[in-house]
Structure 1
Amino acid sequence: MSETTQPREVRAAVTPSQGAPFEIRTLHLRAPEADEVRVRVVATGLCHTDLIVRDQLYPVPLPAVLGHEGAGVVEAVGPNVRHLRPGDHVVLSYGHCGACANCDDGAPSYCVDFFGRNFGGSGPDGGHALTDDGGKPVNDHFFSQSSFATYALCRENNAVRVTEQAPLALLGPLGCGIQTGAGAVMNTLAVTPGSRVAIFGAGAVGQSAIMAARIVGAATIIAVDIIDSRLDLARELGATHVINASREDPVEAIREISDGGVDYGVESTGNTNVFRQGIDSLGKRGVIGAVGAPPLGDETSFDVNDLLIGGKQIRGIVEGDSVAHTFIPQLIDLHLQGRFPFDKLVRYYDFEDINQAAADSEKGETLKPILMLGAP
């Protein structure tokens, strides 16, 4: 048995119970099978979704290894892998079956088994890839990767090969948060040149939407947040107007700036009250996309006649409607050209400082933490 087909000892950040701090533990990761790929993780982003799962707002079984914005180097591949080879640089994105009607239709983020493959805590067959020293399984397969670990097991269809010209340690957040914000603007809403856009929430997802809106030529780009430093960065990244919602009514301000309402809105906070503000900020025939994730079961309200008479649309968006294998390389090209400077959103942390990274993210001091696990 070669070294790459043996189980791997890994250091992993385990979420032991609801709301508990992450714990660095030694676990064991099995060899890849079928179309699986084992990746030596160089760095991984820490996303809001990791934290809401830690706090059980999404019911992933615990204890578990989370992490879903991994970037690294392919170490070993299963016998059915066709396009990846050891040594390839990859970004890990979301899980999908690749065979259902939506996957076949080019909409893998709406895979019929999306929740199971990303939040189920195990593989599609109920099996686990990670075990503890006693051989007991640990919940894993989070977003088909569980990349809060020095090695991760994914499938070929959610490992995106990327150019070695790009800094691998930076790229992980493209697998979820960054492609979600940019894709909402570029893919789902298809924001048009000269249009008016309002972005609610200037975190990593919202800032990515702002950069994308500038790339596609929106004329009015309005950023809404309650933290002045985020709004300052939004201006730097392309916002033409900023609104601090703690000091003024964002709906009134947006209507005044946009002469009656915007053409497009992106709601990235997951706050249902903010989502209602976004709907009310739309102009005639405006459309708003919801990308922020509130706790399961949260509801909001809106004026049906306002929606009806105004011809407004509400659209749910998962992963920016991105086909990761094509969209992530496009975003990397834009970054290398200096047109998509998402590096301005990140701050790097040693893996052992994961709890500090989480605290800084929750306080709004860091937009996108990236955890460093190994050398490129």
Structure 2
Amino acid sequence: MSQATRPDEPSRAEMRRWRRYLADERAEAAVYRDLARRRTGEERAILLALADAEGRHEAHWMSLLGEHAARVPAVSLRTRILGFFARRFGSVFVLALAQRAESRSPYESDAHATPAMAADERIHQEVVRGLAARGRVRLAGTFRAAVFGANDGLVSNLALVLGIGATGVSATTVLFTGIAGLLAGALSMGAGEYVSVRSQRELLAASSPDPDAHTAVPHLDVDANELALVYRARGMTEEEALDHARAVVAEYDPAVASARAAELRELGAAAEGHEEIGSAWGAAASSFSFFASGAIIPVIPYLLGLTGLAAVVTAAVLVGIALLVTGTIVGVLSGASPWRRAFRQLAIGYGAAAATYALGLAFGTTIA
């Protein structure tokens, strides 16, 4: 990195900006060190290397600030939140926040940051993305079911409650309709998720080679080698498959083949979890629970005894807050803009609810 050159007379605005950068670099280095304490091996080494890089950036701003470096302001709220989660959880959620933070670096447009610093920040984003990707893979199956279940519960039951409520029926009818929708939807989501994940796992298992197929090799006719068809089915040309099959038959060793079969069984057992898909029972339980937790929210006003327009408005507000929260979580974990995801969830949910509410008004009476 090139040596920092301090301007002769930096403006007060520049001094404030440098202090803010210095505070954020120190805090981000602390975040990576906190994360490293919860990791081992290669991940720990990578996180400590990121902390060292932030330390180099810190030194740059300290060089520019000189004696003024002692007056460093409090770090930004974003960085404080990141540090809080890193110290207490150290999960993929924190890595996703760190990825988002690295993507917003202002160094490329700041004349007082070196090109090497701007390049570092861009690469840091990719490094953190790679670390977070491992956790995202583990979360993918169950997390997908959880988020889908919660949002489906929120939107479908809000639409159901508002649509029925707009017809002018009693609050008791709306309440029991909402509870029925909660139970029916949660059971349907849980069952559907179980069948979906279980079927996908069974399809993957059916595609795995049979570890005991080697026992047929000694009995094959080398001149009419059915084994060649196996290799052709796996993508080899006819000539390649035949040559490879003849070599396998000629060099077959029962002890070596048995050892290889044992390895395949171990690999199959290790892959049984299929982390990117998730557990069928885990996905079903998550889907059921999160659908129910989302679907109960539109019913809360009626459980509290509210009726008419007050119940409708309260249900819409509560669901809107919940949709913003789930959308923000999805945005953070995906490394995208949390606000865009949050308002997208809100718009979709309110759009569906507004449509059923309008239908309820059209075919019913008025809200009591």
Q: Please indicate the TM-score interval, normalised by the length of the shorter structure.
A: under 0.3
Which structure has more strand as a fraction of its residues? 1
Structure with the largest fraction of helix: 2
**Greater relative contact order (Cα 8 A, min sep 6): structure 1 or 2?**
2
